[in-house]
Chain A
Amino acid sequence: MESKHVHQQIAAMRQSFFDEEVLDEKFSQLEQLEGKDNPNFVEEVFTMYFRDSTAFLETIEQAMKTIPIDSIKVDNILHQLKGSSASVGANKVLKEVNKTRQVLGKGNLEGTKAGILELRKEYDSFKAKLEPYFQKLKQANSVAQEK
C-alpha cells in the first residue's frame, strides 16, 4: 500500500522534527487548525513563511554588509523573523534569531555577523527539511483524495 507507506514516511519525518526540536508544539496547533475546509492550511502557512523569511534574511545579510551597519533595521527584521518563526513553530530558527538579537542588542556587530551566519544555516536546514515534508504530504493527500 503505497499510500500507507507514504503516510508512514510522513509520520516518521514529522516525528523526527519534534525529536530534533526543529519544530515545537506550535506546529501541532497549526495542524489542528486544519480542516476539511482548508486541508492545506499548514502548507500554505509555511509557504508564506518561507517566502517572507527568505527575503528577510537576504535583507539582513545585505544590511550587514553595508557600512555603517544599520543595526536598527537589522533588529527590526530580526524582530519580524522572531514573530513569524514563533508563530509557525520553527523552534531552532527562533532560537538563533533570539541569540542574534541579543548579541546585536549589546552592540556586538561582529558577534551579530556570526549570529546571522548561524541563523542562515539553521534556516536553510529547516527549509530543506520541511519542504520535502509538505511535498510528500500533498502527494499523500491527493492520492487519498483520488481514492
Chain B
Amino acid sequence: MNVSSVKGSMSISSSTSTWKAGDTISDQFPAGLRVLVVDDDPTCLMILEKMLIACLYKVTKCNRAETALSKLRENKNGYDIVLSDVHMPDMDGFKLLEHIGLEMDLPVIMMSADDGKQVVMKGVTHGACDYLIKPVRIEALKNIWQHVVRKRKNEWKEFEQSGSVEEGDRQPKQSDDADYSSSANEGNWKGSKKRKDEEEETDERDDTSTLKKPRVVWSVELHQQFVAAVNQLGIDTVPKKILELMNVPGLTRENVASHLQKYRLYLRRLSGVSQHQSNLSTIISAQDPTFGSLSSLSGLDLQTLAATGQLPAQSLARLQAAGLGRATAKSGIPITLVDQRNIFSFENPKLRFGEGQQQHMTNKQQVNLLHGIPTTMEPKQLVSLRHAAQSIGNMNMQVPPHGAQSSQNNPLLMQMGQQQQQQQQSRGQILVDSTINHAPRLSSSMGQPILSNGIATNVSSRNGIPENIRAPGYSQTPSMLNFPMNHASELPGNSFALGSTPGVSILTSKGAFQEDVNSEIKGSGGLMPSYDVFNDLDQHKPQSWELQNVGMAFDTSQHSNSLQGNLDLTQSALGQQGFSSGQMNGHNRSAAVASKAMFSTGDVKELGSAQNVNQHLNNLLVDNTIRVKSERVCDTSPANIFPDHFGQDDLMSALLKQQESVASSENEFDFDGYSMNNIPV
C-alpha cells in the first residue's frame, strides 16, 4: 500500500469532490468514491476512515446507524457505497442494510469481526454486496469501488439486453455470481477480480457515464409514469423512448435505463415463479371457456415470462401445450393480465373469488414493503406493484423469502395488502388469482405475505427476497400485487381492480428492481376480490398496468370493442393488480395502451417487452392472471387457495388445484390476440 502518495494527495479527497453526479472524471475513478462508513466502535471507525482516505475516497463516518440513515436520506445522491458494521447497538447492521437497499439502492458492504458462515450468509441474503472480516485490510478497501461499478454495469446490461431473454437471464446471473464470489470470501478474490477485470475492460465507458450520474429517486409517481411508458411501449422498448414518453425534466436516459433494467429483473424474477403460474394459468385458462382469450393470455404470459427470461422454455411450452395456443407463446405476464381480464370480462364469479381472496388479503394487509418507508411511497410502490403485477406472480412472491426479512415484509405486505384491499376490494380478486399462481413460489419463501397481497415483501427483503416473493404470487397476492400503492380510488378505474394483488406482486417490483425489494409494492391491499367491480370497470379506463395483468385475460377472440370492454373490466378488476389502482389511472391509461399493445393479436412480444419493463411486475402479473384464471374457473378455488394462513404449501396446492381445473378449460380458448389498441383508455 503506498500511503505516501496519499499523503501528498490528501487534498485529493476534496478535489475529487468534483466527481459528483454528472461529472465525468473517469480518469480519477475510483478516487473520490463517496463512502459512508458506519461503525459503533470508535477505534475501528477511525482506522477505517483513515484507510478509506488513503484509498482516495471521500469518506463520511457515522457511529450510529440512525445517523447514517438520516444522512443517506438527506442526500440520496450523495453517496456511492456504504460500509456498515454488523453489530451496532442502535440498529442491527442487517436492518440498516435492508433500509438502504430499499430506500436508496446503494451497494452495501458489511463488516464484522465475526467470520461465521451464518453471519456471512445473512449478509448475502440480505443483499450485501460484500462482507469484510475485521480487521479490515486496506487492500480490501481498495477494491470496494468494484461494487459500485458492477451494480451500475448490471443495470446497463439489463437494460441493453432486455430484449433478449437469454441475455437477460445471463446478466443477472453474471452479476450475481460476481457478487457472490466476492462477498465474504476473500479467498475467492481471484474469481471476483477476474470478473471485475472483465467488467472493467468491457464496461469502462459505462463506468464513467453511469457512475457519475446523480442518483435518481424513483418516487411512486415517477415509477408509475415509468411503468405506464413501458406498458405503452412494451417491455422490449429502449430507455430512450421511455424517457421521451415520460417527459420528466431532469431524468436522464441512464436513469431510465437502470430503472428499466431493474424492472426487467424484477419481472424476470416474478416470471420465475410464473413457471408455476403459467402452468396454473394454463390450467385455469384451459378450464374456463369464458376465458377464450385466456389461453391466449396464458401464452402471452408465458411469453412474457419467457421473454423476461423467467419463464423457462419448458413452462412456456407447457402452457402452450395447455391449449393456450398462440397465447402461450407470450410471456407469462401478459397472460396474467389477460387472464385477469378474461376473468373479469367473462365472469363475475371470478370476482367473487377475488373477494374471498381479498379477505385473505386484507388479513395479510398490504404489507408495506418498507415498513420503515413512509406511506407516501405506497403510490410509488403501487406503481412498482403494477409492474410487479405484471410480472405478477413474482411480486407477490417477493414477500421476503428470508425469514428475517419476511418478518419485516409481512408487516409491510400486510400494510400493503390492507391498502390495496380497500382500494381494490372489488378488484382484488384478480390479483388474488395471480397470487395463487404464484403459490408455487410462495411455498418457497413467503408464506403469508404472499397471500396477503402481493406481498410486497420483496420490497423489504431486497436481497434475497425476490425469489421468495415470487412465490407469494399465490393467489392471494393477486390483488395484493404488490402495488403497495394504495390506490384505493384507482382501483376502479384501472381495470386492475386487482389492485390488491398487483400491489402485492408489485411489492416485489421495487424489490425486484432494487433487489427485489419492492418497496413500491406497497400496493394497496392488492386483493380486490370483488369482481363486482367489473361493472364499474367499464367506466374506468383500463390501466395499462392492469391490462398487463389482465392482458392475458382478455379474449383475443373478441373483437376489439368487446375486448376493450373486457379490458376495462379486467383492468379495473385487475387494476389492483398492483399497479397503483389509483395512481395508475393516468399511468394505467398508458399502461392500458401498452398492455393493449401487448395483447394485440396475441403478440407476446409486445407483452413481453412491456413485461420486461415490469419484469418484476410481470411476475406478479403472471401470478395474478394465473390466479385470476384459476379463480374464475373454480369459484371455490379461492377458498382452496387461501388456506387459513397463506401457507405457502397450502397455496401451492390450492393453486395447483386450480390450475388443474383451469387448464382443462383453457384448451377451449382461442386466443385471437385481439389488439389492445382499441381499448379505450
Contact = CB atoms under 8 A, between A and B. Distances in A.
A35 B43 contact: no
A79 B87 contact: yes
A52 B138 contact: no
A41 B41 contact: no
Contact of B113 (A29, A45, A82): A82
B392 to A, nearest CB: 43
B10 interface: yes
Interface of A is mostly: helix
Given A83-B41, A86-B113, A30 B47 contact: yes
A110 B594 CA distance: 71
A80 B3 contact: no
Interface in B321-358: none
A88 B113 CA distance: 13
Interface in A17-49: 26, 29-30, 32-38, 41, 44-45, 48-49
B8 to A, nearest CB: 8
A35 B6 contact: yes
Contact of A35 (B4, B85, B112, B135): B4
B606 to A, nearest CB: 54
A83 B1 contact: no
Contacts of A79: 87, 113-114
Interface in B440-454: none
A54 interface: no
A86 B4 CA distance: 24
Contact of B43 (A29, A82, A88): A88
B54 A52 contact: no
Interface in B1-45: 1, 3-4, 6-7, 10, 41-44
A38 B53 CA distance: 12
A87 interface: yes
Contacts of B50: 33, 38, 41
B43 A49 contact: yes
* Candidate in A30, A35, A89 with the most chain B CB atoms within 10 angstroms: A35
B3 A32 contact: yes
B47 A45 contact: yes
Interface residues of A, number: 26
A84 interface: yes
Contacts of A9: none
A45 B138 contact: no
Given A37-B10, A86-B134, A87-B136, A48 B3 contact: no
A29 B134 contact: no
A125 interface: no
B46 interface: yes
Contacts of B1: 29, 32
Interface string B71-106: 000000000000001010000000000000000000
Contact of A80 (B4, B41, B136): B41
A15 interface: no
Interface string A92-132: 00000000000000000000000000000000000000000
15 contacts: A32-B1, A35-B3, A35-B7, A37-B7, A45-B47, A49-B43, A52-B43, A79-B114, A83-B112, A84-B43, A84-B44, A86-B134, A87-B44, A88-B135, A89-B135
Interface of B: 1, 3-4, 6-7, 10, 41-44, 46-47, 50-51, 54, 85, 87, 112-114, 134-138
**Nearest 5 interchain pairs by C-beta:** A35-B7, A83-B113, A86-B135, A82-B113, A87-B135
Given A79-B113, A82-B113, A82-B134, 13 more contacts: A32-B1, A33-B47, A33-B50, A41-B50, A44-B46, A45-B43, A49-B43, A76-B87, A80-B41, A80-B87, A83-B134, A87-B135, A88-B47
